[in-house]
Structure 1
Amino acid sequence: MIRDDIKAAQIAAMKSGDKDARAAIGLIQAAIKNRDIEARTGKAPDSDDALVVEVLQKMVKQRRESIDMYEKGGRPELAAAEANEVAVIERFLPQTLSDDETRAAIEAIKGELGASGMKDMGRVMAELKGRHAAVLDMSKASGLVKAALS
């Protein structure tokens, strides 16, 4: 389980004295804990790994947006700190599908649903997310779905 890998990495970072990794992993654990609390009141994902991957993907997306803002604002030291956190977080994410694999998945779903135009984009995206959310960058997939349906 990813949660166990994160806990083991936290211990390893403490033993090695890697303060940056330890801090980033602490943030990961806090975000997962918050998501666990939210899941108590709403619908929890089917598996624990799905919940953790969802949290990690959200964290990476937030940090990439921050990096972009820091670079535009002339704060390269803050952008570098965020990039270090992204590197730590991505260690725990499963390998994502390549563009070719994503296109193949989109074509398979498109064929199954009989999707023919942009009006079907929501259905295709929902099915794609349902099947491949843990191993797919949904922002990239959106552009590929749009290209496949146009």
Structure 2
Amino acid sequence: MELRDRITQALKQAMKDKDAARLATLRLISAAIKDQEIAGRGVDGAPCVGDPEIMAILAKMTKQRNESARAYEEGGRLDLAERELSEITVIEEFLPRQLDDDEVAAAIDKAISDVGATTIRDMGKIMGKLKERHAGQMDFGTVGPQVKDRLAS
């Protein structure tokens, strides 16, 4: 089933279940997808948002909510931080399973060997290969420094 269809089904189910918190998060996801569609409409007017773009939107939403939750916790607003974390739980249902540290390290090693990287100048190629293979499965903000460390040693 396509990711967009899964989100729509979950939205309908949340309406039936009268789960207000889940419904609100699913509506935010749906609105973000629609915004991306409107922004990306080509000359022919055809929608150009597929599963990879939706996964990128969901990953961005997760990252934003993690940052907000951290800021709320530092500010002593635990109620707001808890709401952000519950939204993350709903969003992550539609993302692929996140790779653990060992799997990330193995993916980095494989990308380095596939590209034939030897210097820091090859970092862009490595990151491109990782994004191609593991979109939505790892946080590329933390992967970048790991790749740098591997190439420096």
The question of a shared fold, defined as TM-score above 0.5 by the shorter chain, is answered with yes
Residue in 1 that maps onto 2:132: 130
Q: Map residues 42-53 of structure 1 onto 2, 5 A cutoff.
A: 48-53=50-55
Provide the TM-score with structure 2 as the length reference: 0.87
Q: Look up the match of 2:144.
A: 142
Moved runs in structure 1, 4+ residues, more than 4 A?
none
Further displaced range: 54-63 or 31-40: 31-40
Alignment of 1:81-100 (within 5 A): 81-100=83-102
Partner SS state of residue 136, structure 2: helix
Q: Return the alpha-carbon distance in structure 1 between the equivalents of residues 14 and 49 of structure 2.
A: 27
Structure richer in helix, relative to its length? 1
1:21 deviation in Å?
0.1
Could you tell me how far apart the structure 2 residues matched to 1:142 and 1:122 are? 10
**In structure 1, distance between residues paired with 2:127 and 2:49:** 20
Q: What is aligned with 2:6?
A: 5
May I ask how many residue pairs the two structures share in their alignment?
147
In 2, the alpha carbon distance for the partners of 1:50 and 1:77 equals: 33
> What corresponds to 1:112 in structure 2?
114
> Any stretches of 5+ residues in structure 2 without a counterpart?
none
Contact 2:33 2:49 in 1 (8 A): no
Alpha-carbon separation, structure 2, partners of 1:72 and 1:97: 28
CA spacing shift, 1:41–1:74, aligned 2, 3 Å: farther
| Structure-1 separation of matches of 2:137 and 2:85 | 21
Q: Report the aligned-residue RMSD.
A: 1.9
Deviation string 1:92-145 (CA, Å, 9 cap, x unpaired) is: 111122322222222222122221132322221122112322323212322321
Alpha-carbon contact 2:37-2:49 (below 8 Å) kept: no
**TM-score normalized with structure 1 length:** 0.88
Opposite residue 57 of structure 1, the aligned amino acid is A
Q: Provide the C-alpha distance between the structure 1 equivalents of 2:149 and 2:85, rounded to a whole number of angstroms.
A: 30
State the SS of the aligned residue for 2:40. Answer: helix
Q: Structure 1 residues 24 and 64 mapped into 2: Cα distance closer, same or farther (>3 Å)?
A: same
1:46-80: CA deviations, max 9, x gaps? 97110110100000000011011111111111111
CA distance in 2, matches of 1:145, 1:73: 33
**Percent of aligned pairs with the same residue?**
43
Rounded Cα–Cα distance in structure 2 between residues aligned with 1:83 and 1:124: 31
